Amino acid sequence: MQQTTFEIEQEKSAGGSRFVIGVDEVGRGPLAGPVVAAAVAYRDPSFAIPPEQEKVFALMRDSKKLSEKQREQVFTTIEEYFAVGIGIIPAETIDRVNILEATFLAMKAAISDLKRVFSAGDMQQAYFLIDGNQLLPNFSGEQEALIGGDGIAKSIAAASIIAKVTRDRMMDAFDREYPVYGFVRHKGYGTKEHLDALRKYGACPLHRQSFRPVQLSSPDVVNRRFARDLRPKRK
């Protein structure tokens, strides 16, 4: 399995960037819950990995390729060795601006949250590695988009893990508030269990009303479709 490295971070640092910050998000596809982004920067400017942490650092890759137990283990190490910022954009904002814009907002919010650790001057000397194929719009920082970045750059991989664990913990908490949907099991994605619950109970405030599966699975729509199907067929 391909391992992530600090090679890109080291290259940008050697080019004059004081900090190299990896940015990634999770939660674009679910029918419910927020989109969450993280921005992280390794605290050691030499990018040296502590020998006793080599096995854990080797696990820093695309969060989807780790088990929940592995993600939780790595999450703790990332919090210790990286500066971390988190951005959370709720469902109502996703519905208002669309999921792509909400993703950009989450990433910018994560970067702003990182300012708790770094000064404004430090951030002006930072280089941002953005997972995906799109740069952040209306953003003044020096940035680069990396397709599959969470499988290449260790700082992006760390950001993906922080974002994933943070969002999963939120969905687990939401499950206690709205237990009928099974959020603890599917984290808001459109599984059969989730869609069946939507048809039975309708949407809750966590659901993205602009997403077509949510619209089509509401009891009113289902009942209208059912009534339409019962209408006599014209000969």
Q: What is the pLDDT of residues 161-207, one digit of tens each?
A: 999 999 999 999 999 999 999 999 999 999 999 999 999 999 999 99
Q: Which residues, at least 6 apart from 188, have a Cβ–Cβ distance to it below 8 Å?
A: 27, 30, 31, 32, 33, 171, 194, 206
What percent of the chain shows pLDDT beyond 90? 83
How sure is the predictor about 122, in pLDDT bands with cuts at 50, 70 and 90? confident
Burial group, residue 4, by CB count within 10 angstroms (0-12, 13-18, 19+): buried
Q: Which of 105-114, 149-158, 224-233 has the lowest mean pLDDT?
A: 224-233
Measured in whole angstroms, how far is the alpha carbon of residue 56 from the centre of its chain? 21
| 148 backbone dihedrals φ, ψ, rounded to 5° | 65, 30
- Name the phi and psi angles at 85, rounded to 5: -125, 145
Banded model confidence at residue 120, pLDDT cuts 50, 70, 90: low
- The whole-number pLDDT of residue 91 equals 97
Which segments of the chain belong to CATH 3.30.420.10? Answer: 7-177
CATH tag for 7-177 (out of 1.10.510.10, 2.60.120.260, 3.30.420.10, 3.40.50.720): 3.30.420.10
pLDDT tens for residues 1-49?
Answer: 678 999 999 999 999 998 999 999 999 999 999 999 999 999 999 999 9
